[in-house]
Amino acid sequence: MQYHDAAIRRIMNEYDELRTIARAKRDELVEKVHNEIPEIKKIEADINRLGIENFGNIIKNPEKAQEINAEFEKNLALLNEKKAEILKNNNIPEDYDEVKYTCEKCFDTGYEDTKKCSCFTQKLINLRYDLSNMKEMLHDFSEFSFDYYSNKKVENLGITERENIEIIYKKAVEFCENEDAKNLFFYGGCGFGKTFLSSCIAKKMMDQGKTVIYTSASGIFSDYEDYKFGKKENDDFEITRDLMRDSNLLILDDLGCEVISSLSCQLLNDIINERIITGKKMIISTNMNMKGIAQKYSDRIASRIYEAFEILHFAGTDIRVQKLLK
């Protein structure tokens, strides 16, 4: 739990810093605008003065409050109109004097009312899974290149590599846009674009404010076994599992490369089932086909994947090799 407390403290400090930076940026911009266009500064001061005067007038003549207020509203509207016009003429956004927070949902506090904001959960995930490496790994859909896929027919599919990847790409985009899209099962050899496309999806979902865990299957299984055999602090794996349950998208990369035990097999089964039951999204990426999955893990796991996942077969020529040759 110590690790967790330290992580939360670190994140809270990060939020403090974000808010301080956001306010400083606002102050800086306001000062700049006031220096360059003193008229704006004057109008803003007039608006403030008007509010104070209005308040004083109402206190002095409460019986005339309605009249006084109407006059105030009229004058205020005139000033605001004038201010908006000057800002517009100078290409300054009307909300220039508002603080722009990184997260508009929680204003960089980590909480929406009493609920943890998704940006908070993502920060916890980032710390735990060390997504600092991943940030550079994340790609945008627009960076995806179809040029690495030839017009050679893919065996068993009856379409070309290029046609095949176009279908997969479309499914990946749909997956990000449609809440009810099926989970994705990416299989195929190394260097066919599975990881690249997974990272495009991860980025897109994170941009939508969703929480994403991107982890290697072998890492999770070995952490689980360490935990089961008491090699690690107890809460540690439980926190990992909680974050996994919370996350909107779980990407399990490189399934099949690990030495599997019956313990890990059960964990995989639990993870898949719980995501199906809670309707949370998952991507499995592997170089094994369904037959291989059934043999290595179990028929039960293979059949769950078959039901709940869109099975997509990546085919082509190793992109890394192609890049090298270029």
Strands (DSSP E) contained in the chain are 111-112, 115-116, 183-187, 212-216, 249-255, 281-286, 309-313
Collapsing DSSP to helix, strand or coil, 85 comes out as helix
Tokens coding 117: 């904001």
For 114, counting Cβ atoms within 10 Å of its Cβ (0-12 exposed, 13-18 middle, 19+ buried), the class is exposed
Minimum distance from CB of 134 to Zn ion (Å)? 19
User: In whole angstroms, how close is the CB of 23 to Zn ion at the nearest point?
Assistant: 17
Pattern 22-61, Zn ion, x by CB under 5 A: ----------------------------------------
Shorter beta-carbon distance to Zn ion: residue 15 or 187: 15
In the complex, minimum distance from the CB of residue 208 to Zn ion, in angstroms, rounded to a whole number: 13
Shortest Cβ distance from residue 311 to Zn ion (Å)?
35
Contact call for residues 183 and 310 (beta carbons, < 8 A): yes
Give the binding range for Zn ion (CB under 5 A) out of 8-16, 99-107, 167-175, 189-197.
Answer: 99-107
What is the phi/psi pair of residue 288, to 5°?
Answer: -100, 145
Q: Which residue's CB is nearer to Zn ion, number 131 or number 220? A: 131
Instruction: Provide, rounded to whole angstroms, the least separation between the CB of residue 115 and Zn ion.
Output: 10
Determine which residue in the list 18, 103, 197, 301 makes contact with Zn ion, applying CB under 5 A. Answer: 103
SS3 228: helix
C-beta closer to Zn ion: residue 127 or 283: 127
Judged by CB under 5 A, the chain residues 104 through 143 that form the site for Zn ion are 105-106, 117, 119
DSSP state letter for 78? H
Pick from 187, 206, 218: nearest CA to 283: 187
Q: How far is CA 31 from CA 19, 24, 49, 57, 252, in A?
A: 18, 11, 19, 31, 49
Please choose, out of 27-35, 101-109, 142-150, 245-253, the segment that lies near Zn ion by the rule CB under 5 A. 101-109
Stretch near Zn ion under the rule CB under 5 A, chosen from 22-30, 71-79, 100-108, 311-319 = 100-108
Residues 302 and 300: their CA atoms lie apart, in Å, by 5
Size of the site for Zn ion (CB under 5 A): 5
170 by Cβ neighbours in 10 Å (0-12 / 13-18 / 19+) ranks as: exposed
CB of 119: closest distance to Zn ion in angstroms? 3
Question: Which of the ranges 17-25, 103-111, 248-256, 317-325 carries the binding residues for Zn ion, by CB under 5 A?
Answer: 103-111
Token readout for 194 is 């599975």
Sites of contact with Zn ion (CB under 5 A): 103, 105-106, 117, 119
